Amino acid sequence: MGIVRSPHRPESGPLADEAAAVARGRGVDVWEASSWDLTEVDPCLDGTDVVLCFGGDGTLIRAARVASPHGVPVAGVNLGRVGFLAEFAPDDMGPGWQALLDGNYWVEERVTLQIDHQRQGERIGSHLAINDAVVGRGPANHIVRLNTWVGGQYLTSFAADGLLIATPTGSTGSNLASGGPVIPPDMAVLVLTPVLPFVSFRNPLVFGASTQIDVQVSLGSAPAGKEAVLSVDGGPAVAVQDGDRLTFRGGPMLARFARVRARNYFHASLVPKLQRGTLLTPLAPDTPSPDG
Amino acid sequence: MGIVRSPHRPESGPLADEAAAVARGRGVDVWEASSWDLTEVDPCLDGTDVVLCFGGDGTLIRAARVASPHGVPVAGVNLGRVGFLAEFAPDDMGPGWQALLDGNYWVEERVTLQIDHQRQGERIGSHLAINDAVVGRGPANHIVRLNTWVGGQYLTSFAADGLLIATPTGSTGSNLASGGPVIPPDMAVLVLTPVLPFVSFRNPLVFGASTQIDVQVSLGSAPAGKEAVLSVDGGPAVAVQDGDRLTFRGGPMLARFARVRARNYFHASLVPKLQRGTLLTPLAPDTPSPDG
Amino acid sequence: MGIVRSPHRPESGPLADEAAAVARGRGVDVWEASSWDLTEVDPCLDGTDVVLCFGGDGTLIRAARVASPHGVPVAGVNLGRVGFLAEFAPDDMGPGWQALLDGNYWVEERVTLQIDHQRQGERIGSHLAINDAVVGRGPANHIVRLNTWVGGQYLTSFAADGLLIATPTGSTGSNLASGGPVIPPDMAVLVLTPVLPFVSFRNPLVFGASTQIDVQVSLGSAPAGKEAVLSVDGGPAVAVQDGDRLTFRGGPMLARFARVRARNYFHASLVPKLQRGTLLTPLAPDTPSPDG
Amino acid sequence: MGIVRSPHRPESGPLADEAAAVARGRGVDVWEASSWDLTEVDPCLDGTDVVLCFGGDGTLIRAARVASPHGVPVAGVNLGRVGFLAEFAPDDMGPGWQALLDGNYWVEERVTLQIDHQRQGERIGSHLAINDAVVGRGPANHIVRLNTWVGGQYLTSFAADGLLIATPTGSTGSNLASGGPVIPPDMAVLVLTPVLPFVSFRNPLVFGASTQIDVQVSLGSAPAGKEAVLSVDGGPAVAVQDGDRLTFRGGPMLARFARVRARNYFHASLVPKLQRGTLLTPLAPDTPSPDG
């Protein structure tokens, strides 16, 4: 068993140590790592049954990127806000945690997203997303034109802040704010959702995971330096130049999650997770305006 | 070959007669019918290869309801406005029409929607939709509460004008106006889209076609007579009472369309069809306000 | 003082009687009426200082229509769900209620909406709305075309379910579900919001209350009987025929509400009122799907 | 008369020179400047009647910021895409241009937006917007919490990409993409529109121009360096730290535009300007996907 903790959440350290101790007490081989430094765990993964992660959905995504190519499922203890991907809340690690140690879990396989970045006919970058990728305007406020092909057929051009392409996993993330649909985790589809379209087609489009989506970025007469950007799983922005082509399709591997909950867990927890609670508690109605 | 014409479009009569004459001239057996009276064509369908329809998408949907249970594909000559389902424009019936007569077409199979209507445990109605079904408020302006289950698991309750459940075929219809996603014709999924949600979950949800969606209508303290309604494929409203349950899932048969265009025809024509043109030509800018 | 109760809410009777008794005990002249039969109170209104209503926002709107032409303000005890217009909750009628009896209240004046219905140059109907008016498709599911002029200048044509024109009072009602903006109660503006636009301009438009908005309904080739409808303040549908013109502008009188709360009450209670609570309590997560 | 040209549009130079020559030929005193270097024109403005700008809406906005404090109106020749603010197209400068030289124009006055930026009780920045200001997340993809007060009264907290506050002038810009309403140019209001709200209030809110809106930015547990940003009129991002307060209200001066068109020009040209045309011409349907 591997155990990954998020340095960003101080409580993850003691929880991870305790989990490691319990697992070792039951004779399980355990390795530990920080979610910010997962490069060294690669050699350990081939002999690993499952990776337990203490952190938010971001921690789980980072672990899944590393573990999934080895066919190893990850399971999360949610220390973040929404926790769509996590299997446990930090305070109910009783029977579910026992089931995980006993190997009584099922493995959920989810489609990933492969992104290829081409410039003048040459591939200059390649990325794998668990959640989503966004191509669009950078910090400068100018309209980007995004010419789009589906399976080699021209679809339309968007004038928008950007286009978001999400996996079912990412469909409950940024995709929701742009009006995109919720996709069940086990469906082999991708969704393309326009982000703040200005005057162009507004509805999301669903595609089979084997469909290739090409997006060519056109910056028109934008001044030099006003480049577009690509962001994968909410990570750092990659510069995209006028004329660059981005190709999106289902990834070559599946993301794997170890589940101890029932197979209908997704729709059982979907809406309560989205309806405020921990995500956004309002202030008291008579809170005075701050002095700044 | 069967030929169906829409009495609602006067130009459909001569066009249908001409098509029938051409087909008969090539030795094809032809029957003709009005789209408003398709009850008698049932016996003819078992020996029919293809049904050609002259009318709008509504005509094609009516014909597909009758022909699909017999495994017979329909093909449409578009006399309506949008024409997502039709294969031909009235003025380009040359080579495509020859191909159809020669049997050089492929058959596109699309998921349908089965709706069962239960009251106090008893089934009181059963419907098949090619496009979509909407359950929601009737003409009276009051909020309807719609409790929703997915695969037997409670999802959430909506306070909304209604819920729309669409097939991929219906995804380019009313579903678009409510913000729902475009689904490719060959995908075996359904989409549930809230119609004007008041304070409830707003995003569309995609489901596999074998997933069962249950919606229970709660009219609360609404005065007598303020019932809810169910509308199937935009047809006449069926009264729905407080406590009634509607069950939606993929239908037991597929709708079949004969296609002579390339297999990527859907995304090739999607956006141009949606971006005005014949659907909504603006008036001249200096058109005076009418006297009424 | 007038006291109006809603027969639709059984609890309104005893509460109204009790309020009447208290007021009479303080030497106030009181008349009582049902909100469903306000035709006879007209003569009483000229000597009335304030009308207290027990019911939902609908009750308050009915009373305001009758009282406002006489310059008499209304105050509501909220027995409904949202209660944007009401001043009191049924269980906190202490100090506020005393203030009302003592005349310690301020009068909030709100813009109303005048609707004139013309057919072939002749006025066939005239309506006053406190909240809003919707012109659009009737129960039949067909697209309505709505040609629109602003101050006599052609604006655009909408293909939509309808157009909603709301006062600031109505801006927190149906307008919200269509994406319209919240307008402060004291602002002399109207808002025009497209309802489920198909392929046409989607954003709401704000106008000064003295601006005249003309909407001409075009039903095109819709079959006979598929008329459009006008609904005023959510009331019964008025039939609108092809070519009819509806004219909207600020009404000739202001709706008057007696307020004992602070002048910033509107934004203080706006969002909490809209975020569920009494409006839509979800079912328990393990509620089984009903038998129907 | 002042003449301002945009160096970003090469065609602006010859057009500006020609206009200057014509004006001088009629005995008008003319100064010329680049829109990127308007600092030196300040002394000239007090004796200037009108400033003519050759460029897009951005050029006109830059000129209006400089000219408006002196009460000098600006007029634009549109060399950009949308051109909501401009008065002339480059190829119809005949009678309108004569009218401008003759002084036959009216002056349209529009509300501006004042933004004050406070940190720990101290004002660290002050900005004037002609169009809009956005406060929200920077390039890093994390949710920002925005606590909001209206007239000193707590309204609600948003979890969103950002909040956009627009003048009537800015209501036809970025505000539209976020679903905000169109506001007529002469209305003294501001609109607050949530940008991609995640789980929070979604509708725009309209306020009187004298209402003060306070927004306090809460970055929660976001890692260091993940600051929020403020962007004024689409300009460069100003860093906003956790706890900073931004105050928005109508500005101390009005933006002034010289108009030769009729007073109803705004609604006459609104929708055609927004419906594609020059803004977004689609590619030919058979355009092959590029090699990148």
Q: Please check whether residues D119 and D154 belong to one and the same domain.
A: yes
In this predicted model, which residue has the larger pLDDT, D279 or A188?
A188
B89 Cβ neighbours under 8 A, 6+ residues apart:
B77, B78, B83
Q: Please check whether residues A19 and A92 belong to one and the same domain.
A: yes
Q: Please check whether residues D240 and D124 belong to one and the same domain.
A: yes
Tokens representing A246 are 């981005």
Q: Please check whether residues C64 and C117 belong to one and the same domain.
A: no
pTM of the predicted model, to two decimals?
Answer: 0.93
pLDDT of residue C164: 98
Task: Give C182's DSSP letter.
Answer: B
pLDDT of residue A52: 93
Model-level ipTM above the cut of 0.85: yes
pLDDT of residue A113: 98
Measured between CB atoms, does B152 come within 8 Å of chain A?
A: yes
Residue C271 inside a domain? The answer is no
- When pLDDT is cut at 50, 70 and 90, the band that residue A198 belongs to is confident
pLDDT of residue D141: 65
The residues that bridge with A5 in the sheet, in sequence order, are A34, A54
Of B104, B129, B162, the residue that ends a domain is B104
Indicate if the pLDDT at residue A220 is higher than 80. no
- Looking up residue A186, the CATH number of its domain turns out to be 2.60.200.30
Least CB–CB distance from A264: residue in B153, B176, B274: B153
Tokens representing D275 are 């419906």
Give C24-64 as a DSSP string: HHTT---EEEETT--GGGHHHHTT-S-EEEEE-HHHHHHHH
Least CB–CB distance from A280: residue in D120, D145, D245: D145
Helix (H, G, I), strand (E, B) or coil at A196: strand
Dihedral sign of CA atoms D255, D258, D264, D266 in order = negative
In this structure, the number of other CB atoms found within 10 A of the CB of residue C14 comes to: 11
The residues that bridge with C54 in the sheet, in sequence order, are C5, C77
Contacts of D270 in chain C (CB under 8 A): 155-156
pLDDT of residue A278: 47
In this structure, the number of other CB atoms found within 10 A of the CB of residue C160 comes to: 25
pLDDT of residue D278: 47
- Looking up residue A8, the CATH number of its domain turns out to be 3.40.50.10330
In this predicted model, which residue has the larger pLDDT, C89 or A136?
A136
Q: Please check whether residues D83 and D140 belong to one and the same domain.
A: no
Q: Please report which helix (H) or strand (E) contains residue D32, including its range.
A: strand D31-34
Burial D62-80 (b: 16+ CB within 10 A, else e): bbbbbbbbbebbbbbbbbb
Distance separating alpha carbons of residues A20 and A25, to the nearest angstrom: 8
A73 Cα to chain B: minimum distance (Å):
24
Mean pLDDT of B101-130: 95
* Residues shown for chain C: 292
Question: Are B276 and D271 within 8 A, CB to CB?
Answer: no
pLDDT of residue B227: 85
- Of B6-10, B17-21, D113-117, where does mean pLDDT reach its minimum? B6-10
Please give the residue of chain A at the shortest CA–CA distance from B201: A271
- Residue range of the domain that includes C170: 112-252
Indicate if the pLDDT at residue A256 is higher than 90. yes
pLDDT of residue D225: 63
Contact D45, D84 (CB under 8 A): no
Residue C200 inside a domain? The answer is yes
Question: Are C292 and B120 within 8 A, CB to CB?
Answer: yes
Catalytic residue list of D? 57
Contacts of B205 in chain A (CB under 8 A): 181-182
Residue D91 inside a domain? The answer is yes
Contacts of D198 in chain A (CB under 8 A): 176-177, 279-280
B164 Cα to chain A: minimum distance (Å):
14
Residue A152 inside a domain? The answer is yes
Q: Is residue A16 classed exposed, middle or buried when 0-12, 13-18 and 19+ CB atoms within 10 A define those classes?
A: buried
Residue A20 inside a domain? The answer is yes
Residues 97-116 of chain C with CB under 8 A from chain A are: none
Residue B290 inside a domain? The answer is no
Residues of chain D with pLDDT under 50: 277-278
Tens digits of residue pLDDT in B181-190:
999 999 999 9
Listed residue (B217, B50, B82) closest to B144, CA to CA: B217
Distance separating alpha carbons of residues D292 and D282, to the nearest angstrom: 19
Place of tokens 């927190």: C172
Tens digits of residue pLDDT in D55-112:
888 899 999 999 999 999 999 998 877 778 888 888 777 788 888 989 999 999 999 9
Contacts of C268 in chain A (CB under 8 A): 285
Give B255-275 as a DSSP string: EEEEE-S-TTHHHHHHHHHHS
C60 Cβ neighbours under 8 A, 6+ residues apart:
C53, C74, C76, C85, C86
CB pairs under 8 A between A and B: 87
pLDDT of residue C222: 57
Measured between CB atoms, does C120 come within 8 Å of chain D?
A: no
Least CB–CB distance from D285: residue in B272, B276, B282: B272
Amino acid occupying residue D274: L
Q: Please check whether residues D240 and D272 belong to one and the same domain.
A: no
Give B37-102 as a DSSP string: --GGGHHHHTT-S-EEEEE-HHHHHHHHHHHGGGT--EEEEE-SSS-SS-SB-TT--SHHHHHHHT
B245 Cβ neighbours under 8 A, 6+ residues apart:
B117, B118, B119, B214, B215, B216, B217, C289, C290, C291, C292
Q: Please check whether residues A46 and A156 belong to one and the same domain.
A: no
pLDDT of residue C278: 47
* Per-residue CA distances from A61 to A35, A128, A232, A274, D143 (Å): 10, 11, 11, 19, 17
Q: Please check whether residues C129 and C58 belong to one and the same domain.
A: no
Question: Are C204 and D181 within 8 A, CB to CB?
Answer: yes
Distance separating alpha carbons of residues C280 and B199, to the nearest angstrom: 8
Domain count, chain D: 2
Residue B269 inside a domain? The answer is no
Q: Please check whether residues B139 and B33 belong to one and the same domain.
A: no
Dihedral sign of CA atoms D57, D63, D68, D71 in order = negative
* Per-residue CA distances from A184 to A56, A177, A187, A264 (Å): 20, 17, 6, 10
Amino acid occupying residue C200: S
Q: Please check whether residues D212 and D267 belong to one and the same domain.
A: no
Residue B116 inside a domain? The answer is yes
Distance separating alpha carbons of residues C24 and C106, to the nearest angstrom: 22
Q: How far is CA D111 from the centre of its chain?
A: 11
Tens digit of pLDDT at every position of chain C (292 positions): 999 998 888 888 888 999 999 999 999 999 999 888 888 888 889 889 999 999 888 889 999 999 999 999 999 998 877 778 888 888 777 788 888 989 999 999 999 999 999 999 999 999 999 999 999 988 766 778 999 999 999 999 998 999 999 999 999 999 999 999 999 999 999 999 999 998 788 999 999 999 999 999 998 765 566 789 999 998 888 999 999 999 999 999 999 999 999 998 999 888 877 775 445 677 787 788 876 5
Neighbors of chain C by Cβ distance (3+ pairs < 8 Å): A, B, D
Measured between CB atoms, does D268 come within 8 Å of chain C?
A: yes
Q: Please check whether residues D217 and D134 belong to one and the same domain.
A: yes
Distance separating alpha carbons of residues A60 and C167, to the nearest angstrom: 49
Place of tokens 């905000």: D180
| Farthest-apart Cα atoms in chain B, separation | 65
Of C50, C71, C104, the residue that ends a domain is C104
Mean pLDDT of B124-148: 89
A190 Cα to chain D: minimum distance (Å):
19
Question: Are A189 and B187 within 8 A, CB to CB?
Answer: yes
Question: Are D182 and C176 within 8 A, CB to CB?
Answer: no
Q: Please check whether residues C234 and C198 belong to one and the same domain.
A: yes
